[in-house]
Amino acid sequence: MPGVLQSVLEKLREIYDRFAESPALREVLQRCELQEHEDKVVVRVPDEYCKFAFLKEIYPLVKRELDVSLIVLTPSEDVIFDLNPKYTFKNFIVGKGNLLAVRACQVAVENLRKKSLPYNPIFIYGRVGVGKTHLLQATGNKALEKGFKVVYRSSIDFAEEVVKAIKENSLPYLRDFYKNVDVLLIDDIQFMAGKERTQLEFFNIFNHLYQNNKLIVIASDRPPKKLKDIMDRLVNRFEGGLVAELKLDRITKRAIIKEKLIIYGLPVDEALIEYIAENTGDNVREIEGFIAKLKAEKGFSSLPKEEEKREIPPEEVLREVATYYGIPVKKLLKKTRNRKISLVRQIAMYLIRQVCGLPLTKIGEIFGISDHTSVLYAIRRVEKLKKEKPEIGDEIEFLKTKLLEF
C-alpha cells in the first residue's frame, strides 16, 4: 500500500489540530513515533498511558477514514517483530500433506474476533524442513495484519525469558505480557523438555489464553504423545485441540521445487524438477540448498547429463542380495514358507524398487507374482522393519550403497 505512512501522518496532523483544547491528547501525539512495516503502520508510544489514550481517542478517528492497519506498541512490546514478514500464506505451497494444518490456521485467524475459535490450540508437527516455522509465522503475520497482538517465540527463547524474569524478580510482568496477547505462537515445543518451571509458567499462560479465547499455535518435531519430559497436563491440553501433521507429498514437493527454480532464475523444466526430486529428501531446506548449488555451478544450463547415472539391472541386485545373505538366487525367486528366505526375498524386491526404479508389475514378473499389491506389501513391510529393527536397516542401506557405488 504505497504512501500509507504519509496518509497516516497527514491524518494525525489533522487530528492534532482538532485537539486544540486538549493539551493531554496533543502531548500523546507529540510523543508518538511512526514507522512503516510492510503494509502496516507501527505507532510507537513511550508508555501504557499513551497507548491507552491513543487507542481510545485517536485510533477510531484514523480507522474511520483510512483503510490501514495500525499497530500501537510500547517499548516492551517490540518482541512482536520476531515475525519475519516474508513468511505468508500466499507463498506457502499447499498440498495433500499439509492442507489440514494450513486450513486450520487460516480459519482460526479469520475467527479471532468471534466468541469461540473452531480450533484451539492448534498443534502442528513434522520433520525438519517441512514448513512448520513458515506456517506459524504466516499465521502470525495474517493476525498482525488484522490488528491483533501477536507473539512468536521458540520454546528456548521462552525458557530464557522465564529464567531472566526469576533472576530479576519480574515474573508478574512477564505473565502479564503474555496473558495480553491475542495470538501466541510457540515453535519447537520439544525443547521445553525437562524444564519444569518453564513448563509451569507456560501452562498457566496457556490456560489463561485458552479461557479467554486467544489463539495458541504450537509446533513440534513429533506429536504430543511422543513428547518426552513434558508434564502430562500440558500434553493433555495439546491433544485437546487440533493435532495436524505436516509432510511433503510427491505433488507438493514438486510444486516447491518449481517455485524455488523460479526464485533462483533457473529453467522450469520437468526433467530438471524430477532430477531434483529424486536427489533430495522431504526437506525444503535440503531442496533449496541443492538448487542453490546447481545455480552456483559454472555453465549450468539444464539437467546434468544422463550418462553420469549408471543403470543397474535387477539381476545385479539379486546377485548382491543372494551373496550377502548366503541364499541362492533361485530360492529368492520362488515363493517359500521359510521365514528367513521370505524376508530376504522381500528385501530384494525393496532394493530393486529403490535402485532400479522398476514398476511394481515388472518386479512382480521377476519374482513370479501376478498381483502387484503383493509386491507393494513386501516393500512396505521392509520399510516398516527398517524403522523397527535398526540392524536390518543398516544391512539394507549397506547393500544399497554398494550397488549404487559400483
What are the boundaries of each domain within the chain?
4-73, 99-245, 250-308, 314-405
- The rounded distance, in Å, linking the Cα atoms of 101 and 89 is 12
Average pLDDT rounded to a whole number, residues 130-147: 89
- pLDDT above 90 as % of the chain: 27
At the second CATH level, the architecture of 4-73 is 2-Layer Sandwich (3.30)
pLDDT higher for 209 or 291?
209
- The rounded distance, in Å, linking the Cα atoms of 349 and 333 is 10
- pLDDT at residue 1, rounded to an integer: 41
Residue type, 171: L
- Per DSSP, the three-state class of 245 is strand
Q: For 133-142, 234-243, 323-332, which range has the lowest pLDDT when averaged over its residues?
A: 323-332
> What sign does the dihedral 5-7-11-13 (CA atoms) show?
positive
Q: For residue 255, how many C-alpha atoms fall within 13 Å in the half-sphere facing its CB?
A: 12
CATH fold label, 99-245 = Rossmann fold (3.40.50)
179 Cβ neighbours under 8 A, 6+ residues apart: 205, 208, 209
Average pLDDT rounded to a whole number, residues 51-58: 82
Average pLDDT rounded to a whole number, residues 144-158: 87
- Per DSSP, the three-state class of 37 is strand
Q: Whose CA is closest to 210, among 119, 100, 79? A: 119
Exposed (0-12), middle (13-18) or buried (19+): which is 15, by Cβ within 10 Å?
Answer: middle
- The rounded distance, in Å, linking the Cα atoms of 72 and 14 is 19
Average pLDDT rounded to a whole number, residues 168-175: 79
Residue type, 349: M
At the second CATH level, the architecture of 314-405 is Orthogonal Bundle (1.10)
- The rounded distance, in Å, linking the Cα atoms of 177 and 359 is 58
- pLDDT at residue 303, rounded to an integer: 54
pLDDT at 236 over 90: yes
Number of Cβ within a 10 Å radius of residue 100: 16
- Per DSSP, the three-state class of 323 is helix
- pTM of whole model > 0.85? no
Q: Write down the mean pLDDT value for the chain.
A: 84
Checking DSSP bridges between strand 33-37 and strand 215-220, what pairing results, if any?
unpaired
- Split at pLDDT 50, 70, 90, the class of 306 is very low
- pLDDT at residue 76, rounded to an integer: 59
- pLDDT at residue 345, rounded to an integer: 92
pLDDT higher for 315 or 147?
315
- pLDDT at residue 304, rounded to an integer: 55
63 Cβ neighbours under 8 A, 6+ residues apart: 70
Q: What is the full DSSP assignment across 226-240?
A: G-SS--HHHHHHHHT
- pLDDT at residue 301, rounded to an integer: 52
The CA–CA distances, whole Å, from 265 to 203, 242, 259, 292 equal 47, 38, 10, 10
Q: For residue 269, how many C-alpha atoms fall within 13 Å in the half-sphere facing its CB?
A: 12
Number of Cβ within a 10 Å radius of residue 159: 19
Highest mean pLDDT among 36-50, 197-211, 349-363: 197-211
